Amino acid sequence: MIFATDCTKKVYSVSIFFTYMVEIKIATLSDAELIADISRETFYATFAAHNSKADMDKFLSEQFCKEQLIAEVGAAGNIFLLAYTDGLPAGYVFLKDGTHLALQTTQAIEISRLYSRTSFIGKGIGKILMEASIARAKKMAKDCIWLGVWENNHRAIDFYLKFGFEKFSEHDFTLGDDIQRDWLMKLMV
């Protein structure tokens, strides 16, 4: 809040809204280490309090190592969109071309990960990445976007519901040695 005075010495409060530009770019192999860093940082911040250290360490070392991310970034049918704000990496979304057996379509794309760095949560990065994902799906002539989300990640579930996603199934997700339950959600586009 900034305060300004006029010649009669009355005080007016003026709200200033800061806007920032978000740049979305398609990731290349050279971005794999950055994606691994964002993945480890955001996954740990979101899930460490709900899982054992051993399970977290095992999952992070297997799923978010540079070699694994290089393989994913370079694989056919995979698209990583990185979001930058004022030149700083703010988050990313990982899209995988493919459907799920429980869906009634072959023209689907999966949101495998949608991660916003902790300092950018609540600032619209996730929304921009979701909108970019929907636009990409439409450009690819897909009629469905789907994803898996941990059943206890209520913040993420609420986020997806706001976009119109609906639950269509469930599956097991292994975090370290712990078997957890994910909701599968879809959005027809």
pLDDT less than 50: residues of the chain: 1-18
- Mark out the alpha helices in the chain (DSSP H runs): 32-47, 53-63, 66-74, 125-139, 154-162
Q: For 113-156, what is each residue's pLDDT tens digit?
A: 999 999 998 889 999 999 999 999 999 999 999 999 999 999 99
In contact, 170 and 182? CB cutoff 8 Å: yes
Q: How much is the pLDDT for 19?
A: 60
CA distances from 43 to 82, 100, 168 (A): 16, 24, 24
- For the record, the structure tokens of 90 come out as 């703010």
Q: How much is the pLDDT for 104?
A: 87
Q: What is the DSSP letter of 31?
A: G
φ and ψ at 91, to 5 degrees?
170, -175
In contact, 125 and 90? CB cutoff 8 Å: yes
Catalytic residues: 160
Q: How much is the pLDDT for 14?
A: 37
CA angle 156, 69, 92 (to 5 degrees): 35
Domains in the chain, CATH or no CATH each: 21-188 (3.40.630.30)
Distance CA 39, CA 78 (A): 16
Q: How much is the pLDDT for 21?
A: 86
